[in-house]
Amino acid sequence: MHRRSVRAVSIILCLVVAVSLFIVACGGGTGAEGLMKRELPNNATPEKIMLEGLNATDEVKSFHYLFDYSFVVPPTGKQAYTSEVRLEGEGDYDDATGNSQAHMVWPSFEKEFDYKLYDKKQYFRMEEGGTWYELPEGSSLLNIPSVSEITRNTSEYMNNFQKINRLEDEVVNGRDCYHIAMVPNFDAIMENEQFLDMIKGDKEQLDEETVKKLEEIKEELKEANVNYEYWFDKENLVLRRTIYNIEMVEKGDEQNPAFTVKFMMETDFPTYNQKVEVTLPEQTMMYKGSS
């Protein structure tokens, strides 16, 4: 895997989290999922659908999610085959506690593991019945929906995009949905205070090397093809699916031609407001490897 590609994608993953829709708080409603019925006119603008969808999703108490992430590098001068790294699985999040859990599969490496976020601490194990490891503070195992870390108002969210379009309505997992496509404004996102806080971590300010890397990524993103898509349930306006598609060109040199790397991140939300119980692992060890 090429270092520049991995570095760029890691920054983009942070960007994805920085503009994620999961602004959850307490709320309630009616129906099997405890969701309020909401109505929009047939000619609703994409901005109206997006803002109302944000408000509706803001009120959920918990959710179950399915995810499928893939990173593809095509054949190059140094690699005669297409390489793909995929990560897929499912999990649950509880807003009252901020706890979450997930089961993940790495098909490329024939690996499976369980993940828990409990009382702001991260744990994982590589096999059922195996040892649970606690990750050191500040580590990040995976960019799955980190709802408890995202808070901002909807107007700030909309400022993070330069284009927004309403596409044809679609059915997602049996639910009639509005379909919205957006192109992010990375210059605005990378100046966002919350995004910079995520990059800084425990540091008071960004070091010189990180600032330089961010500037390099900004330049790379100017030529990238990035598209975010959202599907909002027509009956209650909550999110049912998100897909982030990213294509970046790796510049070539005298020995190697340029090539395009592709990253896709799909997350489905089949159910909301179901009871979620995340328990603290009984026995754990501190993980000492690299994260």
Residue numbers of the domain that contains 194: 3-286
Structure tokens at 166: 């309403």
CA dihedral 129, 266, 236, 156 (to 10 degrees): 110
Query: Can you give the pLDDT at residue 23?
Result: 33
d(CA 48, CA 41): 10
Q: Which residues contact 96 (CB under 8 A, 6 or more apart)?
A: 26, 61, 62
d(CA 140, CA 109): 20
Exposure string (b/e) for 217-243, b if CB count within 10 Å is 16 or more?
beebbeebebebbbbbbbebbbbbbbb
Query: Can you give the pLDDT at residue 79?
Result: 62
Report the number of distinct structural domains present in the chain.
1
Residues present in the chain in total: 291
Query: Can you give the pLDDT at residue 27?
Result: 36
Q: Is residue 271 part of a domain?
A: yes
Helices 193-200, 3-18: inter-axial angle, 10-degree rounding = 130
Q: Name the nearest CA neighbour of 108 among 148, 81, 80.
A: 81
Q: Is residue 154 part of a domain?
A: yes
Q: Is residue 166 part of a domain?
A: yes
d(CA 246, CA 190): 17
The DSSP letter of residue 149 is G
Q: Is residue 196 part of a domain?
A: yes
User: In tens digits, what is the pLDDT along the chain, a chain of 291 residues?
Assistant: 454 555 555 555 555 544 443 333 333 344 578 899 999 998 999 999 988 988 888 889 999 999 998 888 776 656 666 677 888 999 999 988 989 999 999 887 888 999 999 998 999 998 888 899 998 876 665 554 433 333 244 556 667 788 899 999 999 999 999 999 988 777 776 666 656 665 555 566 667 777 777 777 667 666 778 888 999 999 999 999 999 888 887 777 777 777 788 888 899 999 999 999 999 998 888 887 654
Q: Which helix (H) or strand (E) segment is 168 a member of?
A: strand 161-172
Query: Can you give the pLDDT at residue 236?
Result: 95
Q: Is residue 291 part of a domain?
A: no
Q: Tell me the pLDDT tens digit for each residue of 109-144.
A: 888 999 999 998 999 998 888 899 998 876 665 554
Q: Which residues contact 183 (CB under 8 A, 6 or more apart)?
A: 161, 162, 163, 164, 226, 227, 228
CA–CA distances in Å: residue 274 to residues 90, 260, 277: 15, 41, 10
Helices 3-18, 208-222: inter-axial angle, 10-degree rounding = 90
Question: How many Cβ atoms are within 10 Å of 159's Cβ, its own excluded?
Answer: 13
d(CA 126, CA 114): 7
Structure tokens at 284: 């754990």
* Beta sheet of 111-118, edge-to-edge order: 161-172, 175-184, 225-233, 239-250, 259-272, 62-73, 83-94, 100-106, 111-118, 121-125, 132-134, 284-286
Q: Is residue 172 part of a domain?
A: yes
CATH number for the domain harbouring residue 214: 2.50.20.20
Q: Is residue 125 part of a domain?
A: yes
The answer to whether the beta carbons of residues 41 and 227 sit under 8 Å apart is: no
Query: Can you give the pLDDT at residue 128?
Result: 85
Q: Is residue 267 part of a domain?
A: yes
